[in-house]
Structure 1
Amino acid sequence: MNQKKLSYLGLFAAVAIIFGYVESLIPFFAGIPGMKLGLANLAVLFILEKYTWKEAALVSVVRIIVIGFMFGNLFSILYSLAGAALSLTVMTLMKRFSGFSLLGISVAGGVSHNIGQLIIASLITMTSGLIYYAPALLISGVITGLLIGTLTNEVLKRIHF
Structure 2
Amino acid sequence: MKLQGKIKKQIFLAILVSIALVLHLVEAMLPNPFPIPGAKLGLANIITLITLMLYGLKEGLIVAILRVILGSLMSGTFTGPAFLISLSAALSSTFLMSIFLKFKNVFSPISVSIIGAITHNITQLFVVALLISTFNIYLYLPFLLLVAIPVGISTGYIAGLVKSHLDKLGYK
State the TM bucket, normalised to the shorter chain.
Answer: over 0.9
* 2:10 counterpart of 1:6: yes
Partner of 2:97: 91
Alignment of 1:1-150 (within 5 A): 2-28=6-32, 30-73=34-77, 74-97=80-103, 99-150=106-157
Alpha-carbon contact 1:86-1:112 (below 8 Å) kept: yes
CA distance, structure 2, for counterparts of residue 48 and residue 94 of structure 1? 11
Structure 2 unaligned segments of length 5 or more: list them: none
- Deviations for 1:46-80, whole angstroms, at most 9, x for unmatched residues? 00000010000000000001111212512111111
- Deviations for 1:58-108, whole angstroms, at most 9, x for unmatched residues? 000000011112125121111111111221121111112462111100100
CA distance, structure 2, for counterparts of residue 126 and residue 31 of structure 1? 25
Structure 2 length-normalised TM: 0.88
C-alpha RMSD of matched pairs (Å): 1.5
Query: Structure 1 stretches (4+) deviating beyond 6 angstroms?
Result: none
- Shift of the 110–155 alpha-carbon distance from structure 1 to 2, 3 Å rule, reads same
SS at match of 1:36: coil
Alpha-carbon contact 1:32-1:133 (below 8 Å) kept: no
Partner of 1:158: 165
Structure 1 length-normalised TM: 0.93
CA distance, structure 2, for counterparts of residue 148 and residue 129 of structure 1? 29
The structure with the largest alpha-carbon Rg is 2
The more displaced of 95-104 and 146-155 is: 95-104
* Count of residues in correspondence between the two structures: 161
* Deviation of 1:32 (Å): 3.7
Residue type matched to 1:14 in 2?
Answer: S
CA distance, structure 2, for counterparts of residue 96 and residue 157 of structure 1? 17
Residue type matched to 1:120 in 2?
Answer: V
Alpha-carbon contact 1:12-1:59 (below 8 Å) kept: yes
CA distance, structure 1, for counterparts of residue 135 and residue 49 of structure 2? 31
CA distance, structure 1, for counterparts of residue 43 and residue 73 of structure 2? 18
Alpha-carbon contact 2:61-2:95 (below 8 Å) kept: no
Percent identity reads: 32
